[in-house]
Structure 1
Amino acid sequence: MIVRNIKEIINSKYDVSGENWSSRRLLLHKDGMGFSMTETIIKKGTETYIWYKNHFEACYCIEGEGEVEIADKDGNKTGEIYKIYPGILYALDKHDKHYLRATSSDMRLVCTFNPPLTGEEIHDEEGTYPAIAE
């Protein structure tokens, strides 16, 4: 059984941050579950371009408000916007390019990734995490 306390992850190497977000990596590839799980905070008033071309991601909002705007194949905003607030899940089932925004407050999400993250990934210039090397 795996039991973890978020307090042990905060300020460890598995508490990873970018300019607009922080991600606490709870379950990782090394745990052998076939997926990873994070608690991610998106900072109020920010917008982040993301494209998980190597991963599928599902996010469940537990705090705050924001939105996801779908982007086209070139990364241009399409105007297709989904409001995110507590109780909403969104899943990027087509490796969707998208913009993630926190609007009226910081937004807290519980996210799963398949394939799982190793724990120290950050978005590259394409908004992507690298594929895991088996």
Structure 2
Amino acid sequence: MIVKHLEDILGTENDVDTSTWNSRRLLLRKDGMGFSLHDTIIKAGTETMIWYKHHVEAVYCIEGEGEIEVLAENTTYPIKPGTLYALNGNEKHFLRANTDSDMRMICVFNPPCTGREVHDEDGAYALSFED
């Protein structure tokens, strides 16, 4: 059994902070669950271009509001607490948080992340087989 607490991850190498998001990685490839689980903050007033070419991701919003713009569909979907979206087709998208508050998202990745990933120039995480 695995038991972890968010407060034990904050400030460690599994707390990855960038200019537009902060991903607190709770479950990683090394945990052997077949997916990774992240508690992610999308910073207020930011826009991030994302294209997970090597991963599928499910995202559940628990705080804040914003939107996801799926580029191939030329469609924008509002995000608020209780919204789930799943990037099951490696969709290239913009993720935006409204200016008044951060968004807090629970994210699940398959294949699981190792914990060190940040977006590359295409907005993707590299596919790594190393822990």
Tell which deviates more after alignment, 110-119 or 97-106.
97-106
The TM-score with structure 1 as length reference comes to: 0.93
Task: Tell me the equivalent position of 1:101.
Answer: 96
Task: Tell me the equivalent position of 1:9.
Answer: 9
Q: Deviations 1:3-48 (Å, cap 9, x if unpaired)? A: 0000000000000011100000000000000000000000111000
Superposed CA RMSD in Å reads 1.1
User: Take 2:95 and 2:87, find their aligned partners in 1: how far apart are those partners?
Assistant: 12
| Offset at residue 65 of structure 1 (A) | 0.3
**Is 1:89 aligned with 2:94?**
no
Structure 1 runs of 4+ with >3 Å offset: none
- Give the secondary-structure state (helix, strand or coil) at the position aligned to 2:8: helix
How many residues end up aligned between the 2 structures?
Answer: 129
| Offset at residue 71 of structure 1 (A) | 1.2
Q: Which runs of 5+ in 1 are unaligned?
A: none
The TM-score with structure 2 as length reference comes to: 0.95
Percent identical across equivalent pairs? 58
User: Take 1:25 and 1:81, find their aligned partners in 2: how far apart are those partners?
Assistant: 27
User: Take 1:17 and 1:82, find their aligned partners in 2: how far apart are those partners?
Assistant: 25
The AA in structure 2 aligned to 1:101 is R
